[in-house]
């Protein structure tokens, strides 16, 4: 069955620390991949997306993600986090027939 | 755990028909629900924020008379696509969060709307 998993439910980091949030999916064919961010009390906002081409995708606010097909992964990274990055992060995958599945989300807390 | 149920999962209907999509929070009360739309090969687009007991807040460019949102109770929000046309064909998804404390976000499974 198609699924999306985010391994870390809660992550706490200090400012300037490096960040990597994991996202894995289960499906052997072609998918489209997204990372969204949701700040407290707000709606989802797109950070970055991958459809094809360079597997290293750069998004807004200094985020990037790398699609590793052999590992079915699309991990989100940021070299140096800021307090304003405190939010919830969702990985989403579009499977065939435009079926979209979200991960459970990762709560990120950045300590000032 | 908490679940958001979205119904129907798929609708196929003729142009001019009005279609209602329901979003229910099954075991929690949601004062706020979000409605998103996704076009093929694109990311989610927020359509509106549904607030229990008050009018929905629509995003710029979303026709409020076209996409009627009703959040009549703490567990149900509905999106009605009025007089639907083929360009309204899309994937619609709702989300909700328990209002108290640091609660997780929950997504419905989405509704695939196809207008012939």
| Residue A63, strand partner residues | none
Residues of chain B with pLDDT under 50: none
Chain A CB within 8 Å of residue B34 CB: yes
Looking at residue B102, its pLDDT comes to 60
Range with lowest mean pLDDT among A58-62, A98-102, A108-112, B100-104? B100-104
Looking at residue B101, its pLDDT comes to 60
| Cβ neighbours, 10 Å, residue B9 | 12
Looking at residue B51, its pLDDT comes to 86
| Residue A93, strand partner residues | A33, A101
Per-residue DSSP letter, A15: T
Q: Which of A13, A30, A33, A3 minimizes the C-alpha distance to A84?
A: A13
Q: Average pLDDT of A33-49?
A: 88
Looking at residue B98, its pLDDT comes to 74
What residues contact residue A42 under an 8 Å CB cut-off, 6+ apart? none
Q: Using the beta-carbon criterion (under 8 Å), do B43 and A107 form an inter-chain contact?
A: no
Distance from CA of B113 to the nearest CA of A (A): 12
Q: Average pLDDT of A82-107?
A: 89
Phi first, then psi, for residue B115 (nearest 5°) are: -105, 125
């Amino acid at each position: 069955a198609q699924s999306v998993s985010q391994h870390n439910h809660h992550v706490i980091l200090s400012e300037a620390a490096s960040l990597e949030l994991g996202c894995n999916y289960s499906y052997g064919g072609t998918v489209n991949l997204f990372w969204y961010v949701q700040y407290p009390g707000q709606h989802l906002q797109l950070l970055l997306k991958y459809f094809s081409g360079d597997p290293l995708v750069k998004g807004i606010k200094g985020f990037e993600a790398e699609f590793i097909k052999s590992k079915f992964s699309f991990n989100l990274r940021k070299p140096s986090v800021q307090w304003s990055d405190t939010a919830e992060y969702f990985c989403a995958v579009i499977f065939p027939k435009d079926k979209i599945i979200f991960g459970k989300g990762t709560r990120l807390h950045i300590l000032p | 755990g908490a679940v958001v149920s979205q119904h129907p999962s798929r609708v196929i209907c003729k142009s001019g028909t009005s279609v209602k999509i329901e979003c229910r929070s099954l075991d929690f009360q949601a004062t706020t629900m979000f409605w998103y739309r996704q076009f093929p090969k694109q990311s989610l687009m927020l359509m509106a924020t549904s607030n229990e007991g008050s009018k929905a807040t629509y995003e710029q460019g979303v026709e409020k008379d076209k996409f009627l949102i009703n959040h009549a109770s703490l567990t149900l929000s509905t999106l009605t696509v009025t007089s639907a046309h083929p360009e309204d064909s899309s994937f619609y998804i709702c989300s909700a969060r328990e209002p108290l404390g640091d609660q997780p976000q929950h997504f419905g499974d989405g509704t695939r709307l196809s207008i012939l």
